[in-house]
Structure 1
Amino acid sequence: MEQQQLQLLVERLSIESFGKPFLHQASFNPRLRSTGGRYLLGTHNIEINRKYYDQLGEEELVGIIKHELCHYHLHLEGKGYQHRDQEFKQLLKKVGAPRFCAQLPDKKVKQSSKRILLYQCTKCQQAYRRKRSINTSRYVCGKCRGKLTKIKEIIFE
């Protein structure tokens, strides 16, 4: 799907589901990572994450567009457009838009496996448990300023 096709789809969904025109820009934003789309308050444009279309199909894309159009139309009308607002929740239900988008299949793999890294000081034997790796040439033991070494990495599934 190209940018122009996305623009036409958003305009069509706006008329069909909301009975109001979409007068701004809709585009794919390759920098979006953790969200399906976003409505920009300053410009009133809508940005969509292309990965959701590529991996989950057009049905998921339509749901994301409807969700962002709810933000769009409510904001322009001066009503509650945030996720916590009752007007937003009611409009989502009315047009059949999801409150949150589905999780991408490749994201599920990364989140399901958790790891713990174990480090130990070579001087005082103080042990450290971390979720993120430490640059052992830069950081030292907080107790005695000794050198840290990585002992092992535990992966939970």
Structure 2
Amino acid sequence: MEQQQLQALTEELSFIYFHKPFLHQAYFNPRLRTTGGRYLLSSHDIEINKKYYEEQGLEELAGIIKHELCHYHLHLEGKGYQHRDADFRELLQKVGAPRFCRPLASRPQAKPVKRLEYRCKTCGTRYMRRRRINTERYVCGKCKGKLIFIGELGKI
């Protein structure tokens, strides 16, 4: 898909679902990594992540464009255009746009984090850490008691 096709698709979706024209630019931004698209408040343009089209197809791309058009039209009308606003959520539901896009398969998922538990011998205060600490060097912050290692609590 080329820039002109994206522009035409955006204008078409705007007329079909919102019954209003899209008068600005829609283009692919190769620098987008963690999001499917972005509405720019200053220029009213819409940027789209091309990887979503390549990996998940035209249907997912149309959903992302509808989501960004919700931001666009509400902002121009002076209504609540942010994710937390009721106007935005209502319009998303009305046009059938997704609130969030599905994650890309090519993007690696976050690794699980291990959690280590330490406890004070004197007062019993629990300390959760991601990295090991030297129990000979560090003491409880409340009572200065000796810390003991309880164990690893699994991945989160």
TM > 0.5 fold call:
yes
Which whole-Å CA distance do the structure 1 matches of 2:13 and 2:109 have between them? 33
Structure 2 SS opposite 1:47: strand
Tell me the equivalent position of 2:152: none
5+ residue gaps in structure 2? 115-129, 133-137, 139-154
Matched letter for residue 97 of structure 2: A
Which whole-Å CA distance do the structure 1 matches of 2:48 and 2:11 have between them? 14
Matched letter for residue 102 of structure 2: A
Tell me the equivalent position of 1:129: 131
Tell me the equivalent position of 1:124: none
Count of paired positions: 124
Tell me the equivalent position of 1:36: 36
- The offset of 1:115, in angstroms, is 6.4
What's the Cα RMSD here?
Answer: 2.5
User: Residue 87 in 1 paired to residue 87 in 2?
Assistant: yes
User: Which has the larger Rg?
Assistant: 2
- The offset of 1:114, in angstroms, is 3.4
The one of 109, 114, 119 equivalent to 2:112 is 114
Please list the CA deviations of residues 83-117 of structure 1 after superposition, one character each: whole Å capped at 9, or x if unmatched: 0000000000000000001111122x432x4367x
- In percent, how many aligned pairs have the same letter? 68
Runs of 4 or more above 3 Å deviation? 113-116
Matched letter for residue 71 of structure 2: H
Greater helix fraction, Structure 1 or Structure 2? 1
Tell me the equivalent position of 2:97: 97
